Chains A and B, each alone.
Chain A
Amino acid sequence: MPEPVLELDRLVVRYGSFTALHGLSARFAGGALGLLGPNGAGKSSLLRCILGLVRPAAGTVRVAGRDARRARSEVRRRIGYMPERDSFVPGMSGVRALAHLAEVCGFRPDDAMLRAHDVLHFVGLGEERYREVAGYSVGMRQRWKLAAALVHDPDILFLDEPTNGLDPRGRARMLTVIDRVRREHGLHLILASHLLPDVERLCDEVWVLDRGRLKMADSLERLTAAARGAKRVRTRPEAAAALAAAARAAGLVVADGAAEAELVLTRPEAEVAPAEVFALAASCGAPVLGVRPAARSLEDAFLEALEGD
């Protein structure tokens, strides 16, 4: 059985008296992991701790079976990190800076330069590679940062808010590039973002963090599977309680909908058929005013996790 890509064991990170991560324990086997959470949830702290940029107050981090602190150099060589904020080597052209970063990771100068050219072409900065990075636009800097994360041929990509500041077209292009790298070349991806559609598009596992605690860790498939077959049923207000009771008796999960006298009927891991809804309503004498798919998204799951307190 291969080593999990990431393994956290009671990880605690503190900045002075402020605790950013409270004893996180989780395991990511591989693929694409989305780190979700509101601002200040601890996503960036977790990434920085894995990279060894922040020393944990307690607990351990293992990346591909290696202790992230003891084998720091080896772990960092296998990780491509794209930080959230602007971060570049000053005074160099895009391609020169990228080659320099590849050299730092052990590439020979010739190989480093060749690879820098290739990666810049791949992210769409081929025409701009001789310009100084400081002169790039926001979108170009984001792409350059992605190229910098890829240039030393990592096995794991850590992307911290990769679509920040991008226009819709740039965002779509960035997501496409990331998706291609992941799917075509088997790179593991850990994506920290508060943009749920990005996570939904790229990831197959989600960790929800809030105030330094892990609120939810599940596969995206499972998180949204129940919701995909759910139905929203509208009835009269006086009949809503009877319909809810009948649905519960039939083994369905019942939740209140957004509108008055609206119920969301869900069956874990199976679809709720419209005929079943009508049969239930008939059994308790409740009139059915409308039935439509509930279409619960990752956002619903995310908000549920945050409201779990």
Chain B
Amino acid sequence: MAFRATEYERFTGRRARRPVWWPVCTATLRRGWSSRWVRLLSFGALAVAFGFTALFYFAYQVMPNWPTLLRVLGEDEGMASGFPVQFYAGLLHVFVYPILLPLSLLFGHDLVARDLTSNALETYFSRPVSPAAYVLGRTLAYTGFLLLTTLGPMLWIWAFDAATGPQGRFGEIAFVPLALIQGLVPVALVLALFIQAVSSVTRSGVWTNLAVIVLFFFGFVAGQILYEESDRPEVVSVPAASGGRNEAEPAAAAATTPAQAPVPAEETADNGPEPTVPADAPPRIRPDRLPLALLVGAALALVGGDPTPLLLAAPTLLFSGDRQDGRPPAAASAAVGRRGPPAGAGRSADRRPAPASPEERIVVHHDPRLLAVSITEVIRGWCLGCLDRSYPEEVRRAQAGRRHRFRATEPRQVPVDLARNVLLGLGGLSLLLLFARLRRQGTVG
């Protein structure tokens, strides 16, 4: 080798014109790939993809019309076998829970933490790397890797399905790639930002792992508990005696397309006695305010340089109702005087004021919006919602005569609009937190 320069020499070559975040991005990929578990899980994802394609291949070889057969069999069995949308919904579950979530932790749990403990930020920021370029490089690599190991295999399966399927198969599943991209790109991005933000706070890979796992686990448990509890009259608030406006009627909410129309009660709500609530019940929880609560809390925390406002402001906003202006909480008023599914997302098509009478009784149902306290439920709600929303209208109409509607979403699921808001809030908060930590650690020292 020619590395015998004991003399210092000035550099006379040409410099590259690449953006400064590019080397950060490639170094991040190398660092992530150096983890054995990341490699194993990535190969696992590829193996799943190849397994599915092999399954498709042999199924088409043996029985070319097996998708049709499966659909008919499913309907006969009374299943809402909305194939292919439900196949890809299932595929999302396979790639999101066992692969995307663990991989996001394994890849990024110590990315920022190790940079903080080794003072690498000072090294970076004394060079032409700005905090924005640093975050961009790290996050692009992180998100890109997550998508490569989840979206990539899923698209591979889709491509194989489309290429080898019978006549008309492509038309049925042409919407899938866009839906998968819409669903997974924001999720991977938010996960990357969130885990980096947690890592910047804990300054330790182990503590980041623990914190995120605990957050996911307790969020999930809390979501389920809140969801179940929302069926109890003493938990859900009531409208004012004067009656309320039917502002945010839930399931009617999504009624912009036939497939998103309110699900019949027998399909959605838990069947059982319908409880009623007294008029002086406490304010209800407002999970749709979660992004706002987190952002306000983060802004206060940033201004004050102390996380306490975040801890105080978020729950305060989250639990406050619409009582100040004398209006009833939206969801509760939505349920006034009518029987049907409770919470959904978006705006109501029916804005008629609810009847007001002293004897007014309220029908209370489980509120799926409460599941939004769980990140895993939010991810599920968003991904499946995207898949469902992308389902082309003509395919829906063609299937309209069937006994079961073809939907990826389920009643017990965070509404897609709320899931989007939570993801936006979480991503924004993570970004703010990350920048605040980088600025503090990388520059003040």
Contacts and interface: CB of A to CB of B under 8 A. Distances in A.
Interface centre among B8, B117, B130, B444 (most CB of A within 10 A): B8
A90 interface: yes
A150 B18 CA distance: 21
Contacts of A281: none
A17 to B, nearest CB: 13
Contacts of A152: 11, 127
A237 B118 CA distance: 60
B24 interface: yes
Given A90-B120, A106-B16, A185 B8 contact: yes
A86 B120 CA distance: 9
B122 A83 contact: yes
Interface string B102-145: 00000000000011011110111111111000000000000000
A131 interface: no
Contacts of B117: 90
A152 to B, nearest CB: 7
Contact of A87 (B10, B16, B120, B129): B120
Contacts of A184: 8
Q: How big is the B interface, by class?
A: 35 or more
Nearest to A15: B444
Given A106-B15, A121-B4, A89 B120 contact: yes
B123 A86 contact: no
A272 interface: no
A107 B119 contact: no
B27 A89 contact: yes
A122 B8 contact: yes
Interface centre among B24, B31, B115, B127 (most CB of A within 10 A): B127
B3 A53 contact: no
A77 interface: yes
What secondary structure prevails in chain B residues at the interface with A?
Answer: loop
Interface string B13-28: 1111110100110010
Interface string A76-91: 1101010101111111
Interface stretch (A110-118, A204-212, A225-233): A110-118
Interface residues on A, range: 35 or more
A126 B8 contact: no
A253 interface: no
Nearest to A88: B118
Given A53-B443, A85-B119, A111-B11, A117 B3 contact: yes
Interface string A90-120: 1110000000110111111001001101110
A21 interface: no
B266 interface: no
Contacts of B127: 76-77, 101, 104-105, 152
A16 B114 CA distance: 27
Given A87-B122, A121-B3, A104 B128 contact: yes
Interface string B431-445: 000000000001111
B34 interface: yes
B11 A115 contact: yes
B34 A104 contact: no
A134 B444 CA distance: 23
Contacts of A148: 123
A185 B11 CA distance: 11
Interface string A143-172: 000001010110000000000000000000
B359 interface: no
A29 B342 CA distance: 75
A48 interface: yes
Given A48-B443, A53-B442, A87 B123 contact: yes
12 contacts: A51-B125, A81-B126, A85-B445, A90-B118, A104-B128, A106-B16, A106-B18, A108-B15, A117-B5, A118-B5, A121-B3, A150-B8
Interface of A: 15, 44, 48, 51-54, 72-74, 76-77, 79, 81, 83, 85-92, 100-101, 103-108, 111, 114-115, 117-119, 121-122, 126, 134, 148, 150, 152-153, 180-181, 184-185
Q: Which 3 A-B pairs have the closest CB atoms?
A: A153-B11, A87-B119, A103-B23
